[in-house]
Structure formats: C-alpha cells, structure tokens
C-alpha cells in the first residue's frame, strides 16, 4: 500500500483468485488498506453470491492473454449491484489488473476513495506503470505463502462444515473431512497417515472419495469451497 500510495491516493487493494478456470469459483484472496477485513470479506461475499458479478470477474480474467495482463479503469453505473456498496464505503472508482496462468488466474483491484476525487490522467498513467509489478508481486506472494483468506482455513474447517451439513460437505464421512482438513494445512499423505494412525493407501482412498463428493481435484478448489461457505 505504501508503494502504491507514492503514486496515487488509493484507499484499498484486494485480489480475487480463481484456482481452476475450467470450474471457476473466485475467492477473495488478499486485502489491505483503510477498510477493515470484516467489511472487505462481507463485501466480497455479497459480490460472489451474485452470479452476474461472479461472471464479471471471470470474464475479466479470461480477457487477459496467458501470461499477459489486462488493465481496466472502472466505475459502477447507478444500476450496478456494486453501486450501493461503493456508496456506503466511500469508493468512487477502481482500476483492475487481470491475468491468467496455466489452469487459473486472478484479478487485483485498487479502489479510489470518494474524498480523493476522480483519478486524473497523470495518476492513471503512473498507476498503469506500477500496477503490473504490484499485481505480479501479489501473485508471487500467493504462490509462496498462500492466500491471506486461506489462512482462516487452517483449523478444522471442513470438519465443521461436515458437522453442520453444509452443501456437499455434509456427504463426507468424518474421516474424509479430517483428511480434507489435513489437505488444507498442506500436510502430505505420509504426514496425514501418521497423524490419523492409518496407512498411506487409506489416506489416498479417503482423499479420492472426498474429492469426488465435493467435485474438486485440488486443495485450492477445496479452499475455494470452504471460503464461499464460511467467509
């Protein structure tokens, strides 16, 4: 944020990740700035629960060339579902940077506060020069330490959803849910087997069954499902 604000007055920064573009399910991954994490997550949940807005995120990511970037300046029209959110939170416009990589992609967004007024052309030009680097750094951070939001999934989140009978999580067996919790923590098959006192083959079988029930193929996709139900 300090680096960006040397170029222009930006109130908030965030990013939506899509782990698998063949089965896109965006999640809010990173956020920073003046807005609290509570409101960022609340706004993201409202946006991602709207099919048209979710499709808009996916469309913008797909518009970027593989290993390339798409930069857009945007402000909501009065009839846009995001307009009330922007008005309530004092946001006047945003710039988005979208990119795709093999299999997935993400969109980072930079919000201008109403008190700062509309971005002028000089600010837009300066931001266009530095935001591609910021976007790549966000992607690098995600690859190294994971999404900020995914840090909230390190406890027994899948088991909790299973116990509450939420969606497809309710169809998991207790053991399958435990294995999924281990997957979200990044624990290997061998580590999971040791922790649960079962064989490596049993862990693989439980993973396979759980993935089939949830309709996923990776830990990232499980995390996306968890966030969509718990954030």
Tell me the CATH architecture of domain 151-230: Orthogonal Bundle (1.10)
Determine the straight-line distance between the first and last CA of the chain, rounded to whole angstroms.
23
- Look at 103-107, 187-191, 225-229 and tell me which has the smallest mean pLDDT: 225-229
Span 152-170, average pLDDT: 72
| CA distances from residue 54 to 35, 45, 50, 57, 198 in whole angstroms, order as listed | 21, 10, 6, 5, 40
Output the pTM of the full model: 0.65
d(CA 57, CA 64) in angstroms, rounded, equals 12
> Where does the pLDDT of residue 143 fall: very low under 50, low under 70, confident under 90, or very high at 90 and above?
low
The alpha carbons of the chain give a radius of gyration, in whole angstroms, of 19
Long-range pairs for 47-54 at CB < 8 Å and ≥24 separation?
Answer: 47/81, 47/82, 47/85, 48/228, 50/81, 52/81, 53/81, 53/82, 54/24, 54/26
Sequence-ordered list of residues with C-beta below 8 angstroms from that of 52, at least 6 positions apart, any chain: 81
d(CA 188, CA 220) in angstroms, rounded, equals 15
Is the CATH number of domain 2-146 3.30.450.80? Answer: yes
Structure tokens at 50: 């709207």
Per-domain boundaries in the chain? 2-146, 151-230
């Amino acid at each position: 944020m300090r680096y960006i604000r040397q170029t222009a007055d930006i109130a908030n920064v965030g990013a939506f990740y899509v782990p698998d573009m063949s089965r896109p399910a965006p999640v809010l991954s990173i956020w920073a700035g003046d807005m609290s994490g509570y409101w960022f997550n609340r706004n993201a949940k409202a946006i991602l629960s709207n099919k048209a807005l979710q499709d808009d995120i996916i469309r913008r990511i797909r518009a970027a060339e593989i290993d390339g970037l798409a930069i857009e300046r945007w402000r909501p029209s009065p009839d846009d579902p995001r307009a009330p959110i922007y008005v309530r939170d004092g946001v006047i416009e945003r710039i988005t940077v979208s990119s795709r990589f093999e299999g997935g992609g993400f969109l980072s967004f930079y919000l201008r506060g109403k008190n700062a007024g509309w971005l002028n052309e000089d600010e837009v030009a300066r931001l266009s020069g530095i935001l591609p680097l910021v976007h790549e750094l966000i992607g690098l951070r995600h690859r190294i330490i994971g999404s900020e939001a995914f840090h909230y999934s390190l406890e027994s989140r899948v088991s909790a959803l299973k116990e509450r009978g939420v969606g497809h999580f309710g169809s998991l067996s207790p053991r399958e849910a435990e294995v999924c919790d281990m997957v979200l923590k990044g624990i290997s098959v061998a580590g999971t087997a040791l922790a649960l006192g079962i064989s490596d083959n049993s862990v693989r079988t439980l993973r396979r069954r759980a993935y089939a029930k949830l309709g996923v193929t990776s830990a990232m996709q499980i995390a996306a499902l968890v966030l969509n139900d718990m954030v």
